Amino acid sequence: MRCLTAFAAVVISSVALAQPYPSKPVRVLVAFAPGGGIDIIARSVAPQIQAALGQPIVVENRPSAGGIVAAEATVRAAPDGHSLLISGNDTIFQKLLYKKLSYDPQRDLIPVAMLARAPIALFVHESVPAKSMQEFIGHAKANPGKLNYGSAGIGHPFHLAMELLQQRTGTNLVHVPYKGMAPVIQDLVAGRIQAMVYPATSQMTGYMKEGKLRALAAAAPQRLAALPEVPTFDEAGIADFNAAGWIALFAPAGTPREIVERLNREAVRAVGSPEMAQVYTKLSMLPGPMSPDEFARFYNREFEYWGNVTRTLSIVLD
């Protein structure tokens, strides 16, 4: 069956190369709900790529099962550049955590272009008696199992980031899973949970200015512009905490190299535009332009890094 699938992909690719690309509207599936960071990036970059391609780009949200529904639909689509996926490092965790996937994200998706990097920070409620990362670690160790943190569910990147943090610091916090990040933020601000990791958006920095939240460290190579006084995890004494999120464009395996390279060029041009600079500032994200080969190497390193983490944590989902 796999041989037949591969043969079909070759045939479709050959037909695609015989026609000008794109020859019809391009459908882009977004793996998460409208209004979130991935959706905003997708709908901000799509018009610019559309203008360059000369065909409509139809953005369609397919939020379900940690991005699996959108990824699976993309994998099954014809590899001709007319069906694409915008998702994030959830594609990594799909392979590492879910044992019953009908596809392999590392084998069946082509990394086309990095659209954004999303550095995260550790935020705590103002009631937590810690003004630095080391003080937080000390407080957590003195109170094992008494501090709660929230995420958008088991296996969500922010859940795994917090589990990684506990692994690196020898702490024991209680995970409270939610169905989305909005209620996590609400409960953190209200003090019903004590900690979470999240990008340093204007919403989060606004709560900091109001004295409701405190940021202790950021997962970034250098200090974030939105949090200039907050040290990186490296500066706070926690090495190898590579938990930043990212958002990217993918295509089904078998998509012709020429189409991948063209999509990459247009995406790189788009993420470098003044319009996107404003979007990145608002979301506290960073552009991350890479060539297809650079992105492929990065993608494979992410599988290796998080594979080591998830094996240690022994998290498995159906």
Within 13 Å of residue 77, how many CA atoms lie on the same side as its CB? 23
Q: Where residue 2 falls among pLDDT bands split at 50, 70, 90?
A: very low
Q: For residue 170, what pLDDT is reported?
A: 95
Is the pLDDT assigned to residue 3 strictly greater than 50? no
Q: For residue 318, what pLDDT is reported?
A: 66
Domains and CATH numbers, the chain: 2-117+245-313 (3.40.190.150), 120-219 (3.40.190.10)
Residue range 109-127: mean pLDDT, rounded: 96
Q: For residue 18, what pLDDT is reported?
A: 55
Residue range 111-126: mean pLDDT, rounded: 96
Phi, psi (degrees; rounded to nearest 5) at 167: -65, -40
Mean pLDDT lowest for which of 87-101, 177-191, 239-253, 303-317? Answer: 303-317
Q: For residue 108, what pLDDT is reported?
A: 98
Q: Where residue 182 falls among pLDDT bands split at 50, 70, 90?
A: confident
Identity of the highest mean pLDDT range in 12-16, 18-22, 31-35: 31-35
Is the pLDDT assigned to residue 17 strictly greater than 80? no
Residue range 214-240: mean pLDDT, rounded: 94
Residue range 243-252: mean pLDDT, rounded: 94
pLDDT tens, 282-291? 888 999 899 9
Residue range 256-273: mean pLDDT, rounded: 97
Is the pLDDT assigned to residue 1 strictly greater than 70? no
Q: Where residue 4 falls among pLDDT bands split at 50, 70, 90?
A: very low
Residue range 280-309: mean pLDDT, rounded: 93
Q: What is the mean pLDDT of the chain?
A: 91
Give the residue, 176 or 308, on which the prediction is more confident: 176
Residue range 14-33: mean pLDDT, rounded: 82
Identity of the highest mean pLDDT range in 22-26, 65-69, 97-101: 22-26
Q: For residue 147, what pLDDT is reported?
A: 98
Mean pLDDT lowest for which of 6-20, 102-116, 220-234? Answer: 6-20
Is the pLDDT assigned to residue 16 strictly greater than 50? no
Per-residue DSSP letters for the chain? -HHHHHHHHHHHHHHHHHS-S-SSPEEEEESS-TTSHHHHHHHHHHHHHHHHHTS-EEEEE---GGGHHHHHHHHHS-SSSSEEEEEETHHHHHHHHBTT-SS-HHHHEEEEEEEEEE-EEEEEETTSS-SSHHHHHHHHHHSTT--EEEESSTT-HHHHHHHHHHHHHT---EEEE-SSHHHHHHHHHHTSS-EEEEE--HHHHHHHHTTSEEEEEEESSS--TT-TTSPBTTTTT--S----EEEEEEEETT--HHHHHHHHHHHHHHHTSHHHHHHHHHHT-B-----HHHHHHHHHHHHHHHHHHHHHHT--B-
Share of the chain above pLDDT 90, in %: 74
Q: For residue 311, what pLDDT is reported?
A: 85
In sequence order, the β-bridge partners of residue 83 are 27
Is the pLDDT assigned to residue 9 strictly greater than 70? no
Q: For residue 242, what pLDDT is reported?
A: 86
